[in-house]
Amino acid sequence: MSPRGTEEPAGVNGSASYVYGIVPADVEVEPGTEGVGDPAGQVRLVPFGEIGALVSKVGTDRPLGRPRDLQAHQRLLDQAAAEVPVLPFRFGAVLTDTEAVVEELLKPYHDEFAGTLRELEGRTQYVVNARYDERAILGEVLRENDEAAALRERIAGTSEHATRNERIRLGEIIERAVAAKREADTAAVVEDLRGLCEELAVRDPAHERDAAHVAALVRQDRRAEFERAVDELASRWSGRAEVRLLGPMAPYDFVRTS
Amino acid sequence: MTVQHGTPAGGAASGTGLADVIDTILDKGLVIDAFVRVSLVGIEVLTIDARVVVASVDTYLRFAEAAGRLDLSSTEQGLPEVVQGMTQAKAVDQGEPALEAGGDEADDLQMDEPEPARARRREDR
């Protein structure tokens, strides 16, 4: 991501307001909650009308994005999302000061943000990520594809240099076969879960062995049911793919600009 | 209420790695640029590209290498044996990750346990 905007930071002493997301105005931030930056800024709520922005002061002279910063951003939003509706911003949103947060963000978009928060009330996001076991998936491909099996025999005991073309061909077959399995398995996950959530969003694979990567917006009162379904999926794929359930988290995949 | 990060489904042990965080907060969420242009401050954001990955010759060679090392007879066993075999293979193979190289180094950077919620509604308190 490249630096945004060309203006000089207006904040005195080179500080500015980092914005995490939008929450209802009646949210209270525990004193001592640390945000991004080094030293870490204290997170506070800048309210306007029915809504408020979670912000912290950040120095403008240092790059952001250490693991600690990313963690602080996500943790704050996910923990808030466990209790209240949250519009999470993508990492790295910084305005000159809190006045700009009110005048340029909260005031002009108050009704839109308030409306979206009402829609998100009582809903939370999960991410289901399934990743093939390397041995299991390679075994599947080699059993199902005669050409792959033959190429494997041909490269056995040879150097990479001697059978480079065969290796590239084999790898290509495997890559395509895994992609086809991913497509089918993602469809199966979507089929399994669609009835249990309000919305589903298929993510790009995060890894070359991903079997499925799907975000789901789930009603709070259906969380247990949803988690059970993911557990069942995990048992069904045991040994073939590892299924991880991330969340509940802020609805990153389901907020969009209109 | 505590937030369960990276709850392993089906009992396998795993946590939320940095790669998961990157996939989410660098890639998803509202983009403030769409709303605010006037006083947006440009701060350099360091990022790691944890994305896959257009398949490349390197990917193919790694897949082929992994396929070449595979003991096919062991993948046709019943499930418990396979699981056991995987665990053992992991222990043996630790020094030379086969398919891991391209994707998820960041997975190794496990995050701390989540803290209690820090922002909540006033009425709840």
pLDDT tens digits for range B7-36: 444 433 345 678 888 888 888 999 887 777
Helix, strand, or coil (residue A245): strand
Give A44's contacts in chain B (Cβ within 8 Å). Answer: none
What's the pLDDT at B52?
53
What DSSP element (H or E) covers A44?
strand A44-48
Residues 60-89 of B with CB under 8 A from A: 60-68, 70, 72, 74-76, 79, 82-83, 85-86, 89
Cβ-in-10-Å burial (0-12, 13-18, 19+) of B90 comes to: exposed
DSSP B40: B
Structure tokens at A155: 């490269």
Predicted confidence (pLDDT) per residue in A142-178, tens digit: 999 999 999 999 999 999 999 999 999 999 999 999 9
pLDDT band at A35 (very low <50, low <70, confident <90, very high): very high
ipTM score here? 0.76
Class of domain A124-249: alpha beta
Whether B30 and A256 lie within 8 Å, measured CB to CB: yes
Residue A227: count other Cβ atoms within 10 Å of its Cβ: 19
Predicted confidence (pLDDT) per residue in B36-62, tens digit: 777 778 778 876 655 555 668 888 999
Over residues A95-110, mean pLDDT: 95
Over residues A47-54, mean pLDDT: 98
In degrees to the nearest 10, what's the CA dihedral of B28, B31, B32, B35?
-140
Residue B117 has pLDDT above 80, yes or no: no
Residue A217 has pLDDT above 50, yes or no: yes
What's the pLDDT at B81?
39
Structure tokens at A257: 């600009």
Residue B104 has pLDDT above 70, yes or no: no
Cβ-in-10-Å burial (0-12, 13-18, 19+) of A112 comes to: middle
Residue A105: count other Cβ atoms within 10 Å of its Cβ: 27
What's the pLDDT at A13?
64
Residue A114 has pLDDT above 60, yes or no: yes
Residue A110 has pLDDT above 50, yes or no: yes
Whether A135 and B7 lie within 8 Å, measured CB to CB: no
What's the pLDDT at B47?
66
What's the pLDDT at B21?
87
Whether B60 and A60 lie within 8 Å, measured CB to CB: no
Give the closest residue to A219 by CA, choosing from A97, A112, A124, A110.
A124
Give B27's contacts in chain A (Cβ within 8 Å). Answer: 90
